[in-house]
Amino acid sequence: MTDTLDIKITKVNQSKLSTVNFDNLQFGKTFTDHMFTADYADGQWGNFQIVPYGDITFSPAMSSLHYGQTFFEGLKAFKHENGTVSIFRPDKNAERFNQSAERMCMPTLPVELFLESIATLVNLEKSWIPNQENSALYIRPFMFATDPFLGVAPSQTYKYMVLTCPVGAYFSKNLNVKIETEYSRASDGGYGFAKCAGNYGGAMYPSMLGLQQGFDQLIWTDAKDHQYIEEMGAANIMFLIDGKLITPTTRDTVLKGVTRDSVLTLAQQWGIPVEERRVSVSEIIEAAKNGKLTDAFGAGTAAGVASVIAITYSHQKYDLPNPENSEFTQKLSKTLLDIKYGRIADKNGWNLVV
């Protein structure tokens, strides 16, 4: 990538890198030495800087704290065996970043600014990218309203920032999940498709109840009748039924996952029938009962392909076949990782080399 932005870089005096245990990374707890920041005021973005990672101060009246004008993205950079560094499909995240911004009545960010902020920061933090299998540099771009103003109205000023974290595998086991039929994550006409903070805050209470009942994740259903499946936790959900890959259509309650799109693309290229449509709870339970549901998994950047081992619905538990024996899920996980680590040809042009 060629630099076009004027980014002022202030480096740390002493890197923290040598203090980090890369064999025991907890997701999102370890930050690299630097972060990117930019400010929006008077209708435009400016003040592009990379500075040492650290605390920031704001007015306690800052509007994002009160009215939730804030959202984020999540993507990953990978280190190939030969030292090459690539970021997986950042153009898709740039697009979704602006879809979230528009829904939250916040300013969009020029795609080049999004890509360059990330590429420049990742380049600077190259030595932080782990090379263990399943490890990566997690990239967290986010934007928040900064007006010190308690009126309920869109802020006039905003901050855009990017943090980076070395991470290992997100889930270490197959998931025991429950189909949620009381609480909802998103509703028609709402903003479930946006990666805005409130969607995650609102999901924490039902998720905690699920955890107390022994479930690792919740499968969200439609807010109206709880008859259709939407997502799983903060990931898209996919089912392999009778050799067909089935997943809910994206809509205002279902986020347009980059992993979801990548999985569907690969499946199509492998000649596997793919169905994107509304998926009813009853057909999934029926397929689980008669053994036709061979695979179920969450698809997301943080977790990659997260396999489900059991689904509970109306207090009835349905066990699924062991995902370790699934040809499809194994091939899928492996192919996605092989592309990201540059071990096989990147035929779809998904890796942005920095």
Ligand X SMILES: *Cc1c(COP(=O)(O)O)cnc(C)c1O
Q: Which parts of this chain interact with ligand X (CB under 6 A)?
A: 74, 195, 231, 234-236, 255, 257-260, 299-301
Given the DSSP bridges, would you call strands 75-79 and 136-145 parallel, antiparallel or unpaired?
Answer: antiparallel
Task: Output 50 or 196, the one with its CB closest to ligand X.
Answer: 196
Shortest distance, position 333 Cβ to ligand X, whole Å: 14
In sequence order, which ranges of the chain are alpha helices (DSSP H)? 63-67, 90-103, 111-124, 197-212, 258-269, 281-289, 327-340
Task: Output 40 or 350, the one with its CB closest to ligand X.
Answer: 350
Shortest distance, position 62 Cβ to ligand X, whole Å: 23
Shortest distance, position 255 Cβ to ligand X, whole Å: 4
Nearest to 199 by CA among 190, 208, 209: 190
Shortest distance, position 196 Cβ to ligand X, whole Å: 10
Task: Output 20 or 111, the one with its CB closest to ligand X.
Answer: 111
Nearest to 45 by CA among 32, 33, 36: 36
Task: Output 155 or 301, the one with its CB closest to ligand X.
Answer: 301
Shortest distance, position 278 Cβ to ligand X, whole Å: 17
For the chain, the C-alpha Rg in angstroms (whole number) is 21
Shortest distance, position 258 Cβ to ligand X, whole Å: 3
Query: What is the CB-side half-sphere exposure of residue 2 using CA atoms within 13 A?
Result: 1
Q: How many Å separate Cα 104 from the centre of its chain?
A: 18
Task: Output 92 or 159, the one with its CB closest to ligand X.
Answer: 92
Task: Output 146 or 259, the one with its CB closest to ligand X.
Answer: 259
Task: Output 107 or 300, the one with its CB closest to ligand X.
Answer: 300
Query: What is the CB-side half-sphere exposure of residue 249 using CA atoms within 13 A?
Result: 5
Nearest to 135 by CA among 237, 21, 247: 21
Task: Output 137 or 299, the one with its CB closest to ligand X.
Answer: 299
**Strand extents, DSSP E, the chain:** 8-9, 34-41, 44-52, 70-72, 75-79, 85-88, 136-145, 158-167, 175-179, 217-221, 228-232, 235-241, 244-248, 274-277, 279-280, 293-300, 304-313, 316-319, 351-353
Backbone angles phi, psi at 130, to 5 degrees: -70, 150
Cα(283)–Cα(293) distance, rounded to whole angstroms? Answer: 10
Shortest distance, position 337 Cβ to ligand X, whole Å: 14
Shortest distance, position 251 Cβ to ligand X, whole Å: 12
